[in-house]
Structure 1
C-alpha cells in the first residue's frame, strides 16, 4: 500500500486501489478530496490562498497554491480521468484560524467561501465538510475503498461511501 503525500500547494490524483492520498497540517489552508466510486478515481488538493489574482505569476508556476486556479485544474484532470459529476463524492476540511486568532485576515474563511462558489458553479455538492475553528487537521483518502479520514486534536473520524 502506497501513501502519497499531497504537500502544501500541491495536488495528486490516483486510480490505484493500493494508494492512500494524505495531506498534513491543514490550518487556514483548505483540503479537498474528490472520489468517483464507480471507477475508483480520487484526487486531493491542499490550497493555501483563495484567489490567484494576488500573484498571477506565482499562480502560473504553482496553480494549486490558490483555491480558484487549483480547483479548476484538479476538476479538469479528474474529468479527463473519467470522473462524472453525478458520482463525485467530495470531502472538505481545513479553513481554520490557527495563526489568526483575532480573525484579522480570515484566510481560512475566505478559502472555504471561494471553494463553495467553485463547487456550486460546477454543479457539485460536498458530502462532508469539517471547516473553521482553530485547530489543524490531517486528511486522507483511501483510493481502494473511498474512505475519507480526518485526524484532529487526537480525534479520528472516518467517512465511508454513502
Structure 2
C-alpha cells in the first residue's frame, strides 16, 4: 500500500504508546509541550511511538501503567522494552523524537524540559537520535510509519494549537483527579 490515505491511522493520546509490525499502520499524535519518541528496528520491521507529558518520576505516583506512562522515564522504558520483547534488537534501533514546544509561553518551560530529558535519556542509554524536531514555540502533528521509519511532522498554526493544549489539559486534569490505584487489595 502506498499513500497516507491507504494506511490505518492509530492515534496515541498523552500517556499512551503503540507498537506494531503492520505495514499498513500510521501512528499519529499531536504534541504541544509533550514529547513523542518514534522507535523502530528496521530489520525486524517493528516500531512504535510514545507520548509523554512530564520528564520523569521515581515512582510514577499514580500507580497504574497508563498513569506512569505520562512520565518520560517510564514511557521510554516501556516502548523500548516492548519492541525488544517482540524481536527487536537494541543495537539496531532507529530513534526519532519530536515535540517539547513552549506553547504556553509560561515561566515553567515544561516542553523544553521534556526535550532535555529525552535527549539526556537517549545519550545515557547510548542510543543515538536519527532525527528530531523539538523545542520552539509551536505544537506539532506527527504521523509515523513504524515499519519504514518515515515521519511526517507539521508545525501547527496558532489557531490549531487549541486542540493539543485542550487534550493535554484534559489529560492532566483526569490524572490529577483519578483515584490512586493500589497494588494491594485488603479483605475483611
Take 1:88 and 1:51, find their aligned partners in 2: how far apart are those partners?
A: 22
Relative distance call for 1:141 and 1:60 in structure 2 (3 A) is: closer
Q: Secondary structure at the match of 2:69?
A: helix
The answer to whether the 8 Å contact 1:59/1:66 transfers is no
Aligned CA-pair RMSD: 1.8
The answer to whether the 8 Å contact 2:60/2:71 transfers is no
Q: Secondary structure at the match of 2:23?
A: coil
1:139 aligns with 2:142: yes
In the alignment, what sits opposite 1:4? 10
**Residues matched between the structures, number:** 151
Q: Secondary structure at the match of 2:87?
A: coil
Task: State the 1:2 CA deviation.
Answer: 1.4
1:85 aligns with 2:90: yes
Structure with greater helix percent: 2
TM-score in terms of structure 2 length = 0.74
Bigger Cα Rg:
2
Take 2:60 and 2:89, find their aligned partners in 1: how far apart are those partners?
A: 32
2:50 to 45, 48, 53: 45
Moved runs in structure 1, 4+ residues, more than 6 A?
A: none
Take 2:101 and 2:95, find their aligned partners in 1: how far apart are those partners?
A: 19
Take 1:124 and 1:151, find their aligned partners in 2: how far apart are those partners?
A: 25
Relative distance call for 1:114 and 1:144 in structure 2 (3 A) is: closer
Take 1:59 and 1:114, find their aligned partners in 2: how far apart are those partners?
A: 22
Task: Structure 2: give runs of 5+ residues left out of the alignment.
Answer: 1-6, 158-188
Q: Secondary structure at the match of 1:34?
A: strand
Take 1:80 and 1:108, find their aligned partners in 2: how far apart are those partners?
A: 30
Take 2:125 and 2:61, find their aligned partners in 1: how far apart are those partners?
A: 23
1:16 aligns with 2:19: no
1:75 aligns with 2:118: no
Relative distance call for 1:62 and 1:38 in structure 2 (3 A) is: same
Q: Structure 1, residues 46-95: CA drift from partner, whole Å, max 9, x if none?
A: 10011224861256551220101111111111111122223211111111
Task: State the 1:153 CA deviation.
Answer: 3.5
Greater CA drift, 57-66 or 109-118 = 57-66
Task: State the 1:146 CA deviation.
Answer: 2.1
